[in-house]
Structure 1
Amino acid sequence: MRKSTLRKVGLVGLILIGIGLYFLVPSIHHSVNQIVKMFASGDFEVVRRFVASYGAYAVVVSFLLMIFQSVAAPLPAFLITFANANLFGWWQGALLSWVSAMAGAALCFWIARILGRDAVEKLTSQAGLKQIDAFFEKHGRLSILIARLLPFMSFDIVSYAAGLTSMSFGGFLVATGVGQLPATLIYSYVGGMLTGGAQMLVTALLILFALSALIVLIRQLYKERAKKKLV
């Protein structure tokens, strides 16, 4: 049996086991539903309390939560980033969030590479994947780096989509790591200051970051067009 077939069979087996545990084990079913509901609330304080409740294992739980939200796209990762900074300090929280986000991105990449497009469409959405496809086609080899700088682009769907291309895993990791770093640092710095009355500050900073990212994108597009004119 070919290595690619063995990988596919093994991964499908693990997914089926996970689905079976979800439906057959009440405690797992309840925990997963609770986590999804927690993300859906959009309240970082709920996530912070959940992670903190595990005490000495809080770091491990946070890491696994980031992996979970990566695979179950598109749950909001910034809630975990805020919670990490608030619990562990902004730079320690930033490091935890960045490393766990990288691990989640790598997992999404390999799931897509092993299982193919049909499986990815079931894990994400066909419409969302088509939008990322168009973005990749437009921006070429800089797509991953640019996408990571844009806060309104789904981090996880981008990772899945990259796995469907011919891009090397090393190139994907470098672009993801560099592109994800600014957002992680900003979100962590804000998360470290968050209190109940900080909503306006958060909103303002996120808007500022979005505008900054757009400026970077516009500048890159201008350079690409200028090069084409010179050819």
Structure 2
Amino acid sequence: MTKKNSKSDIQQSKAPLFVSLGIIIVLILLYFLVPSYQQFLNEAWQVLTSNDETRIENWVSEFGWFGPVVLILAMVFQMFLIVIPSLALMVVAVLAYGPVWGSIISASGVFVASTTGYVIGKYFGPVLVKKMIGSSSEEKLENFINDYGFWAVVITRFNPFLSNDAISFVGGVLKMGYWRFIGATLLGISPLILFIAILGNNTESMKTGLIWGSVVSLILFVLYVWWDKRRKKSS
């Protein structure tokens, strides 16, 4: 009975993968059959992957009031297209809309993207998540969240060097409480957004500060993990 049930579970868990493949096929067909859709995607790809913040800012500004929506959607899609860093999109939001509205747009983008990743992980299951981020990364993040829970999400969000987006998927797979997860996400990302808002107009100083801040926070966290593991072994 157990073996039959496990086989049935595996087959059911693959169903969302087939649905996702179906959606991808439809989008590919639209790309080749609808010229305006193809043109927009080509332009969006070229601009968002250019690493030219001024070019991205100008492109986003052309959308007027719809620009913030474009940035938020870009933050969602960047979970699947790693070549578009979410940090760069936050910088663009601040440059295009100022420190206050840029921060609000950035926080909204992180909120929507994190919720999307969480829902995918929770309802589409580990099979799809492993396909997307790899079995090794998924297992490491699972252990990380199991060991440190709320603070694992906070630290990961705070440090751009860590797997920011992958933790959303894994948080959903582990069925971590949604409000606990999203609270940790917003708490961890807030200092980063504030830092970008303050130094957004001076990109060189901001990049230097982000690198040093990330390195220091990463070293401190590694030391904490090392100390915590030694403490657990001794007890």
Who is 1:90 aligned against? 99
CA apart distance, 1:179: 0.8
Which of residues 49, 57, 73 in structure 2 aligns to 1:48?
A: 57
> What are the within-5 Å matches in structure 2 for residues 138-157 of structure 1?
138-157=147-166
CA apart distance, 1:204: 1.6
SS in 2 for 1:152: coil
- The structure, 1 or 2, with the larger RCO (C-alpha pairs under 8 Å, 6+ apart) is 1
Partner Cα separation in structure 2 for residue 130 and residue 37 of structure 1: 34
CA apart distance, 1:79: 1.4
Residues 73 and 190 (structure 1), Cα distance of their counterparts in 2 relative to 1, 3 Å cut = same
Partner Cα separation in structure 1 for residue 162 and residue 45 of structure 2: 20
Tell whether 2:212 aligns with 1:208: yes
Figure out how many residues of one structure are paired with residues of the other and give that number: 222
> What are the within-5 Å matches in structure 2 for residues 156-195 of structure 1?
156-191=165-200, 193-194=201-202
Partner Cα separation in structure 2 for residue 135 and residue 206 of structure 1: 23
Partner Cα separation in structure 2 for residue 15 and residue 171 of structure 1: 31
> What are the within-5 Å matches in structure 2 for residues 1-231 of structure 1?
8=16, 12=20, 17-73=26-82, 75-126=84-135, 128-191=137-200, 193-194=201-202, 198-199=203-204, 201-214=205-218, 216-218=220-222, 220-221=224-225, 224=228, 228=232, 231=235
CA apart distance, 1:36: 3.0
Residues 22 and 190 (structure 1), Cα distance of their counterparts in 2 relative to 1, 3 Å cut = farther
Residues 224 and 104 (structure 1), Cα distance of their counterparts in 2 relative to 1, 3 Å cut = same
Residue 107 of structure 2 contacts residue 190 of structure 2 at CA under 8 Å; is this kept in 1? yes
Paired amino acid for 1:210: S
Residue 160 of structure 2 contacts residue 214 of structure 2 at CA under 8 Å; is this kept in 1? yes
CA apart distance, 1:123: 3.7
Residue 150 of structure 2 contacts residue 181 of structure 2 at CA under 8 Å; is this kept in 1? no
CA deviations 1:48-104 (Å, max 9, x no partner) are 111011123222222222222234446301111111111111122111101111111
> Which runs of 5 or more residues in structure 1 are unaligned?
none
What TM-score do the two structures reach when normalised by structure 2?
0.77
SS in 2 for 1:155: coil
Residues 81 and 141 (structure 1), Cα distance of their counterparts in 2 relative to 1, 3 Å cut = closer
Partner Cα separation in structure 2 for residue 183 and residue 215 of structure 1: 17
Partner Cα separation in structure 1 for residue 142 and residue 32 of structure 2: 33
Percent of aligned positions with the same letter in both sequences? 24
Partner Cα separation in structure 2 for residue 64 and residue 146 of structure 1: 24
Partner Cα separation in structure 2 for residue 169 and residue 74 of structure 1: 28
SS in 2 for 1:103: helix
Partner Cα separation in structure 1 for residue 162 and residue 67 of structure 2: 28
Q: Larger Rg: 1 or 2?
A: 2
Paired amino acid for 1:42: N
Q: Which moved more, 1:85-94 or 1:123-132?
A: 123-132
Paired amino acid for 1:60: V
SS in 1 for 2:78: helix
Paired amino acid for 1:52: S
Partner Cα separation in structure 2 for residue 134 and residue 33 of structure 1: 39
What TM-score do the two structures reach when normalised by structure 1?
0.79
